[in-house]
Structure 1
Amino acid sequence: MRKSLMRMTLRQLQVFRSVCEQQSYSRAAEEMSLTQPAVSLQIRQLEELIGQPLFDYVAKKLHRTEAAEALLRASEDIFGRLESLDMQLSNLQGSLQGQLSLAIESSAKYFIPHLFAAFRRQYPEISLQLTVVNHAQALKRLSANRDDLLILSQVPTDMALEFLPFLNNPIIAVAPADHPLCAAQALDLQALTTYPLLTRELGSGTRKACEEYCHQKRAHFANTLEFGSFEGQIEGVIAGLGIALLPRHAVRRELDCGLLRELPVRELPLLRSWCVVHPRGKYLSPVAQEFFSFVRNQRSQITLLAERFNLPHAKPEAVAPGIDPNG
């Protein structure tokens, strides 16, 4: 190992990580309560120790060099180990402490806070950093190893992963209460295709699952409107712009108060499974290990939570390919 690398300090790495995150020396200085010259000095000293530049200015924007990317990955390992050490020391003192970094697909954002609340009742000194992303963004975070754990509904088969299915995620068809289809006793999926379909953006796991399933059932929607969030879809349906295929728990309040109606489609609900996921061989912090164990062992608690969202546990009528919803 280069002797110069041994002279790097944790403070220098903290400043460097802030510059990477803020993409600005001045914003990093503000975040770190330092002057901009102090931040510049720390970065220059790091560059001298490494022997390569860490940042380039292109079109008035700060860009990381390859050396900076390598240093950033190393710093994440270093600070991750220190966080783990802090958790282990707390464990030795008889209490589990630390932060769980959890990234979840947006379809899970209505349920996972309740799951974490149940977990935190057992471990009140654990904090949470929750990041909500779509499926494509979750896969990028998974590849970059940016989080302790992820919650996915479609686990990729081309990556070495450990995953645990723990709950069904039913997708249903919804329409405004005065929609003509609401008068039907039973419908085929094909009957929906004459109406506009409100969809999520490209990269959404829900959109991907629905498109694959509709293609399988030969139900092709000629008229679609795209929204960047479930909330946008829901409001669009309420406004009368069309119908949508949405996770049931995402619209439970609107169904309860009568703003929306679940359409009686024979081929639905489409069920996928939420899974807690991490790269195979990844070192898990004590907090991440405990959360993974909680999800695996506390099925009764999860069942009780799911009943509040009217999430079925029976064998599904329709299952998205790739995942067994019953684990």
Structure 2
Amino acid sequence: MRKALLRMTLRQLQLFRAVCAHRSYSRAAEEVALTQPAVSLQMRQLEELIGQPLFDYVGKKLHLTEAGDALLRASGDLFGRLESLDMQLADLRGSLQGQLSLAVESSAKYFVPHLFAAFRQQYPEVSLQLVVTNHAQVLRRLSANRDDLLIMSQVPSDQDLEFLPFLNNPIIAVAPPEHPLCSCGSLSLQELTAWPLLIREAGSGTRQACEDYCHQKRAHFPQTLEVGSMEGQCEGVLAGLGLALLPRHAVRRELACGALHELPVAELPLLRSWCLVHPRSKHLSPVAQAFFAFVRDQRSLINQLAQRFAEPTA
């Protein structure tokens, strides 16, 4: 190893990661309570130690060089190991402490806080960093090893992953209560295609699953409106823009108060499983190990929690 690398400080790496996160010296300086010149100086010193530039300016935007990208990955590994060490030391003191970094698909964001709350009853000193995004972004985070664990519903088969299915995610068809289809006793998926369908953005796992399922059932919707979130879909249905295929968890309050109506479609609900995922080769922190074991071993508790969570609310 080059001796110059041993002169890097953890503080310099922290500042570097802040610049990478914000793609801006000034915003990174605000985050760490330093001046912009102080951050710039630290980055120049870090580049001297590395022996290569870490950033390029292209079109007035900050981009990582190949060396910068390599340093970002290495620093992530380093801080991850330090976090794991802190957790192990806490474990030796007789308590599990630390932060669980969890990335979840947006369809799971309604249930996961309840799941973590149940976990935290056993481990009250554990904190949570929760990132909610769509399926495509979750896959990118998985490839970049940015999180301890991930929750998704479509686990890629071309990667060496450890995954644990733990709960069904039922997708249903919803309409406003005054919609003509709400008076029908039973419906087929094909009968819905005469109406506009509100769909998620490209990259959404729910959208992909619904499109694949509708194609399989030969139910083709000629009129679609793209909306970038489940909340937007829900509001669009409430506004009378069309129908939507949504996770039942996402609209439980609207169903309970009568603002939305679940259509009695014979081919629905579409059942998918939420899965807890990590690369098989990943070294899990003590907190991540404990959470994985909790989800694996507490199936009865999770099912009871899901049943209570799905109960109608006033």
Q: TM-score, normalised by structure 1?
A: 0.94
**Partner residue in 2 for 1:227:** 227
Q: State how far apart, in whole Å, the 2-side matches of 1:189 and 1:255 are.
A: 20
Percent identity (aligned): 78
- 1:48-100 per-residue CA deviation (whole Å, 9 max, x = no partner) reads 11110111122222111110000010000000000000000000001100000
Q: CA deviation at 1:290?
A: 0.3
**Partner residue in 1 for 2:289:** 289
Q: State how far apart, in whole Å, the 2-side matches of 1:102 and 1:144 are.
A: 14
Q: State how far apart, in whole Å, the 2-side matches of 1:238 and 1:82 are.
A: 48
Q: State how far apart, in whole Å, the 2-side matches of 1:308 and 1:183 are.
A: 28
Q: How does 1:33-182 map to 2 (within 5 A)?
A: 33-182=33-182
**Partner residue in 2 for 1:213:** 213
Q: CA deviation at 1:309?
A: 3.4
Q: CA deviation at 1:277?
A: 0.2
Q: State how far apart, in whole Å, the 2-side matches of 1:12 and 1:164 are.
A: 38
Is 1:308 matched up with 2:275? no
- 1:200-249 per-residue CA deviation (whole Å, 9 max, x = no partner) reads 11111000000000000000000011110111111111111111111011
- 1:164-196 per-residue CA deviation (whole Å, 9 max, x = no partner) reads 000000001111101111111111111100011
Letter aligned with residue 122 of structure 1: Q
Q: State how far apart, in whole Å, the 1-side matches of 2:48 and 2:227 are.
A: 48
Q: CA deviation at 1:105?
A: 0.1
* Partner SS for 1:177: coil
Q: CA deviation at 1:42?
A: 1.0
Q: Which runs of 5+ in 1 are unaligned?
A: 312-327
Letter aligned with residue 206 of structure 2: T
Aligned residue pairs: how many?
311
Runs of 4+ in structure 1 over 6 Å off: none
Q: State how far apart, in whole Å, the 2-side matches of 1:230 and 1:300 are.
A: 28
Letter aligned with residue 292 of structure 1: F
* Partner SS for 2:268: coil
Letter aligned with residue 269 of structure 2: P
Letter aligned with residue 297 of structure 1: D
Q: State how far apart, in whole Å, the 2-side matches of 1:185 and 1:35 are.
A: 66
Q: CA deviation at 1:292?
A: 0.3
* Partner SS for 2:88: helix
* Partner SS for 2:129: strand
Letter aligned with residue 267 of structure 2: E
Q: State how far apart, in whole Å, the 2-side matches of 1:105 and 1:35 are.
A: 37
**Partner residue in 1 for 2:191:** 191
Letter aligned with residue 52 of structure 2: Q
| RMSD, aligned CA | 0.9
Q: State how far apart, in whole Å, the 1-side matches of 2:185 and 2:310 are.
A: 21
Q: Which runs of 5+ in 2 are unaligned?
A: none
**Partner residue in 1 for 2:275:** 275
Q: CA deviation at 1:121?
A: 0.8
Letter aligned with residue 257 of structure 1: C
* Partner SS for 2:141: helix
* Partner SS for 1:190: helix
Q: State how far apart, in whole Å, the 2-side matches of 1:27 and 1:261 are.
A: 46
* Partner SS for 1:309: helix
Q: TM-score, normalised by structure 2?
A: 0.97
Q: State how far apart, in whole Å, the 1-side matches of 2:22 and 2:135 are.
A: 25
Q: State how far apart, in whole Å, the 1-side matches of 2:54 and 2:191 are.
A: 58
Letter aligned with residue 199 of structure 1: I
